[in-house]
Structure 1
Amino acid sequence: MFPENTGHRPVEQAVTIHQPTRIAPYPAAAPVVPVQPVGVPAVTSIMLPDGRVITGYAIDHTHPDPVTAKPLISRTAVNIALGGIGFGAVCGGLVLLTTFIAALAALVQQLIILAAVIFGGFIAVQVLTAGRERGTTTVNIRNAVIKRNHFHG
């Protein structure tokens, strides 16, 4: 418990001994009669042509359960293929949808530009023809004479 070189001596401890408790014997069961199991056939002996005798159980061959015909393609594979076809169809529709949205945006942009050009032309015509409607005279500046800050046309 303690290493020898430390100089300490182990302390003696009291030892308690426990005795096991006796168990009452189990009551004897009724005698068992050996019975041939229902599923095991009786022992059979067969003599081979060379004179040897083989002894053993005659076992009927078990026939496996009939296998149900499985489809050539599993349902999972069909579902995956149909999902892929559907996804491809949706992607084509989305491409057409985005193309339609881009064309519509370009149309709206062209209409706005056309409206600005027409409205700007209308404003320009109004400004340039405004002087003629009031009965003012257009003066050729090259022939006019300016004297003492007055314009004489």
Structure 2
Amino acid sequence: MYPEPVRHAPAERAVTPYQPTPLPPAVVHPAPVVPVQPGTVPAVASVVLPDGRIVTGYAIDHPQPAPLATPPAVSRAAVNVALGGVGFLAVCGGLLLLTSFIAALTAFVSQLIILAAVVFGGWVAVQVLGAGGHKGGTTVNIRRAVIKRNHFHG
């Protein structure tokens, strides 16, 4: 690929100077003037090239990378576990209210059944033991009866 370099003794080494190729002069177009707020004029920088030319221009501010996102103080898993616990407590509270409601409803229904039994039982007792109506037997009209010598003849 490359030819083998010739090795000389240290005293015989040839020094080959390299000269940069000069560039043709550039055509300078006047730059448009952009109004700039006072106090925000960028700093002017000058650079001296090896051939003695001076290049002057505005310093360029390099864009700063976006700051890295800081990790949250609490891990996502811990937040999920806490939210799950809160949800579980809410469900348990609802289930406790549901069981209380079922117990109250059961007590109410049992009281209605007892009330119906008492009312129906009282009605039956009045029908059976009541004094109303004919039960059979003989009806005696006391006004027409004749009582002789303390003896009743009906």
TM-score band, normalised by shorter chain: 0.3 to 0.5
Return the TM-score normalized by structure 2. 0.43
Q: TM-score, normalised by structure 1?
A: 0.43
